[in-house]
Amino acid sequence: MHTLLFALSSALTFPQQPNIYLEVVGDNNSSQDWAFFAPHETEFVANKYVAEQIVKKGGVFVVLRQEGKRLVTFDIDHQKIKIDPNRMFTKIGRLASLKKSNPKHRKNVSLINKAEKRAEALSQFVLDALSGEKPPSTIVAMHNNSNGFEGDGKNGIGNVSIIRYQTKLASGAQYLIDTASGTDDEDDLYFVTDKTDFNSMKQNGWNAVLQNPNVATDPNEDDGSLSVYSEMKGYRYINIEAERVTHGFGEDHLSKQIEMVDYTFSLLEKEQ
């Protein structure tokens, strides 16, 4: 039996492994053509607020759940196989994530292949929940990250920061095409696929990163993420990133992420 955390939500059990399920708020066939998705259970700072807004404004909000962990664990051939649920939307990404997260099994071709098929089924299960009768025109991802970034000289951890993205772009990273530095904390930022969204965010003083559309065709930039998948499918994608407490370090930037959610809805409603 699943414990639902949001009012007016329902649970969809993953048929291939019943301890994995989706908590769904709203209606994926709503007249409002947007879908919010939270892939990591440990990144939940503003999820309650998103659920409340979906009930008021329409659309659907899907949260992937299992055991409260960041990674999803598959039970295959009496083995526990982990995968990053935001790296499971393409085959290249699934295989890379499985090998990275399960070093002792990476040479077990049969096991990795079975896990890849399980991950493919889970990704389709998520996409079906987001899509309803037709895919949404916009997918909004809810993420949280750690304070700073590893190697920043300030005891930062993790790998998400507008400063880090600027450094990556300056050093020739091919998965980015532009960044905008606003007035907020370096960990509070948008990662988007749509240039119009990026320009609006830049003009309004937000930290923002614009993905290079070439990731859709360059296998070297295919990490299996929902942003890459969205680029491949031509979906508008907005990732709302904000800092969270991690191992007692940093802060939950709830009020800022709420502001970011509200701004995102202003962009979405403008298109209606």
Q: What is the pLDDT of residue 152?
A: 85
Q: What is the pLDDT of residue 204?
A: 98
Question: Which residues of the chain fall short of a pLDDT of 50?
Answer: none
Residue 259 Cα distances to 49, 210, 241, 243, 264, angstroms: 11, 20, 12, 13, 9
Q: Name the residue with tokens 């969204």.
A: 197
Q: What is the pLDDT of residue 272?
A: 63
Task: Say if 66 falls within a structural domain.
Answer: yes
Residue 205 Cα distances to 208, 254, 257, angstroms: 9, 18, 15
| Chain segment 98-125, per-residue pLDDT in tens | 999 999 999 999 999 999 999 999 999 9
DSSP E strands, the chain: 9-13, 21-26, 34-38, 60-65, 72-76, 79-83, 138-145, 176-180, 189-192, 208-211, 236-243
Task: Say if 2 falls within a structural domain.
Answer: no
Give the helix ranges, DSSP H, for 9-152: 47-57, 91-101, 109-131
- 111 is in which domain, residue-wise? 9-270
Say what the pTM is. Answer: 0.97
Q: Within a 10 A sphere around the Cβ of 256, how many other Cβ atoms?
A: 18
Task: Say if 4 falls within a structural domain.
Answer: no
Task: Say if 97 falls within a structural domain.
Answer: yes
Q: Which residues contact 71 (CB under 8 A, 6 or more apart)?
A: 82, 83, 84, 85, 101
Q: Which residues contact 185 (CB under 8 A, 6 or more apart)?
A: 243, 253, 256
| Chain segment 151-163, per-residue pLDDT in tens | 988 888 889 999 9
Q: What is the pLDDT of residue 1?
A: 74
CA distance 92 to 40: 20
Task: Say if 146 falls within a structural domain.
Answer: yes
Q: What is the pLDDT of residue 270?
A: 87
First CA to last CA distance, the chain: 38
Q: What is the CATH number of the domain that holds 114?
A: 3.40.630
Handedness of CA 154, 175, 117, 68 (dihedral sign): positive
Cα 135 vs. chain centroid, distance in angstroms?
17
Task: Say if 33 falls within a structural domain.
Answer: yes
CA distance 176 to 254: 27
CA distance 63 to 82: 18
Q: Which residues contact 244 (CB under 8 A, 6 or more apart)?
A: 43, 45, 144, 145, 146, 250, 251, 252, 253
Task: Say if 19 falls within a structural domain.
Answer: yes
Q: Considering its fold, how many domains does the chain have in total?
A: 1
Task: Say if 121 falls within a structural domain.
Answer: yes
**What phi, psi does 157 have (nearest 5°)?**
-135, 160
